[in-house]
């Protein structure tokens, strides 16, 4: 049985509507959210099973043909990323419920709209529809960042909204230019018509596309909004943003550059990738707060994904896809551990933490696994992903970027040891407050620490699962990359 | 017609960019609104020459305008409008919290400036805690900068 590509989106949006109707009953809202997200995850898994061999599932929405209507298309890349994303989102939802950060009545509907936006971004086969999906997830994210209405949330949220709205405006303009040049916004059809354009025109449009998705993906030098905006939100929200939203930007970059055939921009992408890796990780080293360190790491890791794309070889893009798959749960679980620390100690500042390895060994273990994975230490998932990228770089004889990526890895390990030494080793600071039994957050009921821990274990378990299954996952990534590079992704053309 | 629309889009982009670079949130939001309009006009230009309405008496005329860009423009307008309204709500909340319409200095910038001993940030952006009347005067009006609020992060980054 093959599910309809639109199923995850429909489930999430129906869930959002039901959750809105049930806004006075938190328990019901939670049940609705969990049910619709689980349903979407099952549908995504079924699509993954169906596209495993390279089949492409397509739908023309409303029966309109693809040249005037909207085409949805699920290939292996979409299905892989969709499944990993939805699994991670489910873990974060459980974590939010456990920490009672879901209390304000708008959380559940907004979170489900975010889910729908992310799913649509992975599934759509149409450039304008990609814009719509970005707006769906961005508007949901605007609300989630500023949900508390605190002063830092408002000022950082403002930067976040302004930057993203500017990027969206550029996106519309880019779509206008592409449509004027090619007469279509269907990605498969663009794959045929775009390469036929003049070289100069292709370069100009390609750079516009690169800028738009560069802002969304927080690529150097367009990343400066991210380390401010992300830590302002409540921890589970930061976790899902860090894990997912920039990766959707990377996915859009991969999808559009392979569809439009932007190989000429490869060198620019590689330079941007190298700078993103190094500057992101240097920013992380300079920080003192757990969430801010991790936010700079988000930027740094984007560089690795774009490195794979910039090579424009099957191995490179396969490495990039594998890296995104590994990165989504790893980043999320690191932030969730940060949230556990904050919930326990009331702060995320490294100079006010210490001795957690003795006090809460389980949390320490939950930090170590994804942290080593992030730095690319074998046998964790990051090692496999980085190894495939470095092999691809060597095969393409781009030794400079390979060297830069290795330096970036070493620096990543260094800043992870900084968190480890600051938070987990050493003596607990003397003026430390007693472990917070009841936080002073305006939340209803006491946070359920056991459930939050379980959700974190689930997210970390996902990263371990990816490490264990990295063999087949790499093979799937190669198939997916071949599909991407083979041109039009099989979307129904006119 | 296409030329005049293209000129209109260019003017909208130019004024929008100018306003976006201002220090007041209200001007930034207006700038974004103008940029949004500019991109929608660009989208309309992308549809080519104007023609007849596409569905007159159910018969295609053969010379009708491209309906696709109009559908896309409509979607873009709705989305931009919604986000602009959200931004206005944020700006209003920011006014409630800080009593000011200006974008604050970036805390990170301040820290770096303090490390290097550069004084320009303070010079360009003086605290004006007790002068609420002077808010509308110029971009120099700053949010209340009590010592305790030094950790309050700020929105736009400002290079020294």
- The Cα A380–Cα A483 span in angstroms is 27
Q: Is B132 inside a domain boundary?
A: yes
pLDDT given at position A445: 56
Q: Are residues B44 and B69 in the same domain?
A: yes
- Whether A170 has its CB under 8 Å from any CB of chain B: the answer is yes
**B68, B84, B152 ranked by CB distance to A152: nearest:** B152
A295 pLDDT exceeds 70?
yes
When scoring A145, A166, A173, A184 by the number of chain B Cβ atoms within 10 A, the one with the most, hence best to mutate, is: A173
pLDDT in tens, B81-125: 999 999 999 888 888 888 877 777 777 777 777 777 665 554 444
Q: Is B154 inside a domain boundary?
A: no
Of A284, A316, A322, give the one whose Cα is nearest residue A300: A284
Q: Is B147 inside a domain boundary?
A: no
CB distance A250 to A302 below 8 Å: yes
Q: Are residues B82 and B122 in the same domain?
A: no
Read off the pLDDT of each residue in A218-245 and give the average, rounded to a whole number: 84
Interchain proximity B42–A170, CB inside 8 Å? no
CA distances from B11 to A211, B4, B41 (A): 22, 10, 11
Count of structural domains within chain B: 2
Q: Which residues does residue A57 pair with via DSSP β-bridges, in sequence order?
A: A74
Q: Are residues B90 and B13 in the same domain?
A: yes
Domain that includes residue B9, residue range? 2-55+64-104
CB distance A304 to A392 below 8 Å: no
Interchain proximity A228–B91, CB inside 8 Å? no
Of A171, A138, A172, A131, give the one whose Cα is nearest residue A157: A138
- Whether B72 has its CB under 8 Å from any CB of chain A: the answer is yes
**Domain range annotation of chain A:** 4-486
- The Cα A272–Cα A219 span in angstroms is 7
Interchain proximity A162–B87, CB inside 8 Å? yes
Count CB atoms within 10 A of the CB of residue B117.
6
Phi–psi pair at A489, nearest 5 degrees: -80, 35
**A151, A173, A228 ranked by CB distance to B97: nearest:** A151
Tokens of A10: 């429909």
Tokens of A277: 């890796």
Tokens of A336: 């969730």
Q: Are residues B95 and B134 in the same domain?
A: no
Q: Residue A185: list chain B partners with CB under 8 A.
A: 72
Q: Are residues B32 and B90 in the same domain?
A: yes
- The Cα A340–Cα A291 span in angstroms is 12
Phi–psi pair at B47, nearest 5 degrees: -75, -5
Q: What percent of chain A has pLDDT over 70?
A: 94
Read off the pLDDT of each residue in A271-290 and give the average, rounded to a whole number: 88
CB distance A35 to A43 below 8 Å: no
Of B150, B38, B23, B7, give the one whose Cα is nearest residue A174: B38
Interchain proximity A175–B152, CB inside 8 Å? no
pLDDT in tens, A153-201: 888 888 889 999 999 999 999 999 999 998 888 888 888 888 888 888 9
- Whether B78 has its CB under 8 Å from any CB of chain A: the answer is no
CB distance A382 to A316 below 8 Å: no
pLDDT in tens, B26-84: 899 999 999 999 999 999 888 877 777 766 666 666 677 788 888 899 999 999 999 99
Tokens of A386: 């980085």
**A149, A168, A228 ranked by CB distance to B93: nearest:** A149
Interchain proximity A152–B153, CB inside 8 Å? yes
Q: Are residues B82 and B134 in the same domain?
A: no
Q: Is B152 inside a domain boundary?
A: no
Interchain proximity A154–B90, CB inside 8 Å? yes
pLDDT band per the 50, 70, 90 thresholds, residue A429: low
Do you find a cis peptide bond into A280, omega within 30 degrees of 0?
Answer: no
Q: Which residues does residue A126 pair with via DSSP β-bridges, in sequence order?
A: A186
Q: Residue B102: list chain A partners with CB under 8 A.
A: none
Interchain proximity A158–B90, CB inside 8 Å? yes
pLDDT given at position B118: 61
Give the domain CATH number at B21: 1.10.287.3510
For the entire predicted model, the pTM comes to 0.86
- Whether A286 has its CB under 8 Å from any CB of chain B: the answer is no
CB distance A379 to A386 below 8 Å: no
Give residue for tokens 């976006």: B20
- The Cα A248–Cα A258 span in angstroms is 15
ipTM reported for the complex surpasses 0.90: no
Residue A389, min C-alpha distance to chain B (Å): 33
pLDDT given at position B158: 42
Q: Is B49 inside a domain boundary?
A: yes
- The Cα A128–Cα A144 span in angstroms is 24
pLDDT band per the 50, 70, 90 thresholds, residue A275: very high
Interchain proximity A146–B90, CB inside 8 Å? yes
Q: Is B159 inside a domain boundary?
A: no
Angle at which helix A7-21 crosses helix A26-51, to 10 degrees, equals 180
Q: Any alpha helices (H) in A68-186, and if so which ranges?
A: 76-99, 107-123, 127-145, 151-182
pLDDT in tens, A315-324: 889 999 999 9
Who has greater pLDDT, A343 or A279? Answer: A279
Interchain proximity A228–B72, CB inside 8 Å? no
Quick one: CA dihedral A172, A177, A178, A182, positive or negative?
positive
| Mean per-residue pLDDT of chain A | 85
Q: Residue B39: list chain A partners with CB under 8 A.
A: 169-170, 172-173, 176
Q: Is B156 inside a domain boundary?
A: no
Q: Are residues B115 and B41 in the same domain?
A: no
Q: Of all residues in chain B, what percent are helix, strand and coil, respectively (each to 5)?
A: 60, 5, 35
Q: Is B89 inside a domain boundary?
A: yes
Interchain proximity A166–B98, CB inside 8 Å? no
The residues in B 87-116 lying below 8 A from A, measured between CB atoms, are 87, 90-91, 93-94, 97-98, 103-104, 106, 108
Of A224, A459, A219, A230, give the one whose Cα is nearest residue A348: A230
Query: Would you give the distance in Å from CA A104 to the centre of its chain?
Result: 24
Query: Would you give the distance in Å from CA A13 to the centre of its chain?
Result: 20
Q: What percent of chain A has pLDDT over 90?
A: 25
Phi-psi label, residue B143: left if phi above 0, alpha if psi -120 to 50, beta otherwise: beta
Decide: residue B96, CB within 10 A, 0-12 exposed, 13-18 middle, 19+ buried. Answer: exposed
CA distances from B98 to A152, A452, B23, B138 (A): 11, 35, 15, 17
Q: Are residues B94 and B116 in the same domain?
A: no
CB distance A230 to A460 below 8 Å: no
User: Between β-strands A57-60 and A71-74, what pairing exists: parallel, antiparallel or unpaired?
Assistant: antiparallel
Q: Please tell me the least confidently modeled range out of A206-210, A349-353, B91-95, B96-100.
A: A349-353
């Amino acid at each position: 049985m093959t599910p309809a590509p639109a199923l995850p989106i429909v489930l999430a949006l129906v869930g959002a509507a039901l959750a809105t109707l049930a806004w006075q009953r938190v328990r019901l809202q939670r049940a609705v959210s969990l049910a619709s997200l689980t349903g979407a995850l099952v549908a995504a898994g079924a699509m993954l099973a169906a596209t495993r061999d390279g089949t492409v599932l397509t739908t023309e929405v409303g029966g309109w043909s693809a040249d005037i209507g909207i085409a949805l298309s699920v290939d292996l890349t979409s299905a892989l990323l969709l499944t990993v994303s939805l699994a991670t989102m489910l873990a974060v939802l459980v974590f939010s419920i456990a920490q009672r950060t879901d209390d304000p009545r708008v959380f559940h509907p907004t979170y489900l709209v975010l889910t729908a936006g992310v799913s649509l971004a992975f599934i759509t086969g149409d450039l304008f529809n990609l814009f719509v999906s970005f707006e769906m997830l961005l508007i949901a994210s605007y609300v989630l960042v500023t949900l508390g209405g605190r002063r830092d949330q408002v000022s950082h949220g403002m930067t976040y909204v302004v930057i993203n709205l500017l990027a969206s405006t550029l996106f519309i303009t880019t779509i206008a230019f592409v449509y004027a040049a090619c007469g279509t916004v269907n990605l498969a059809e663009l794959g045929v018509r775009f390469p036929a354009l003049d070289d100069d025109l292709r370069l100009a449009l390609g750079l516009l596309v690169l800028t738009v998705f560069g802002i969304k993906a927080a690529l150097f030098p367009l990343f400066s909004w991210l380390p401010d905006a992300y830590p302002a939100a409540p921890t589970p929200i930061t976790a899902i943003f860090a894990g997912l939203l920039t990766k959707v930007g990377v996915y859009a970059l991969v999808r559009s550059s392979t569809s439009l055939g932007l190989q000429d921009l490869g060198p620019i992408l590689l330079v941007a990738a190298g700078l993103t890796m190094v500057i992101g990780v240097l920013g992380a080293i300079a920080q003192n707060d757990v969430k801010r360190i991790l936010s700079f790491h988000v930027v740094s890791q984007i560089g690795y994904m774009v490195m794979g794309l910039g090579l424009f070889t099957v191995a490179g893009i396969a490495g990039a896809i594998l890296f995104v798959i590994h990165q989504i749960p790893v980043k999320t679980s690191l932030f969730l551990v940060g949230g556990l620390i904050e919930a326990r100690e009331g702060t995320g500042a490294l100079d006010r933490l210490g001795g957690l390895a003795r006090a809460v060994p389980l949390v320490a273990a939950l930090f170590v696994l994804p942290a080593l994975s992030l730095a690319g230490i074998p046998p964790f998932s990051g090692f496999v992903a980085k190894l495939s990228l470095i092999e691809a770089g060597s095969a393409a004889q781009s030794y400079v970027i390979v060297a830069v990526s290795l330096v970036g890895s070493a620096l990543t390990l260094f800043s992870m040891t900084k968190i480890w030494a600051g938070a987990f080793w050493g003596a607990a600071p003397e003026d430390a407050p007693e472990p917070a039994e009841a936080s002073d957050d305006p939340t209803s009921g006491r946070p359920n620490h056991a459930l939050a821990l379980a959700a974190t274990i689930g997210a970390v378990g996902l990263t371990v699962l990816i490490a264990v299954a990295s063999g087949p996952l790499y093979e799937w990534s190669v198939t997916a990359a071949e599909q991407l590079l083979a041109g039009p992704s099989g979307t129904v053309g006119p | 017609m296409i030329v005049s629309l293209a000129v209109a889009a260019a003017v909208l982009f130019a004024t929008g960019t100018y306003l976006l670079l201002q220090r007041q949130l209200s001007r930034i939001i207006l700038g974004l609104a103008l940029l949004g309009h500019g991109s929608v006009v660009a989208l309309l230009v992308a549809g080519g020459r104007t023609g007849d309405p596409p569905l007159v008496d159910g018969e295609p005329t053969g010379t009708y305008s491209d309906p696709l860009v109009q559908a896309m423009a409509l979607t873009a307008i709705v989305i931009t409008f919604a986000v602009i309204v959200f931004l206005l709500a944020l700006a209003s909340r920011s006014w409630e919290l800080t009593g000011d319409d200006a974008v604050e200095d970036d805390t990170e910038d301040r820290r770096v400036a303090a490390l290097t001993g550069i004084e320009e940030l303070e010079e360009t952006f003086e605290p004006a805690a007790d002068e609420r009347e002077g808010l509308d005067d110029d971009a120099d009006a700053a949010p209340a900068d009590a010592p305790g609020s030094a950790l309050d992060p700020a929105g736009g980054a400002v290079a020294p």
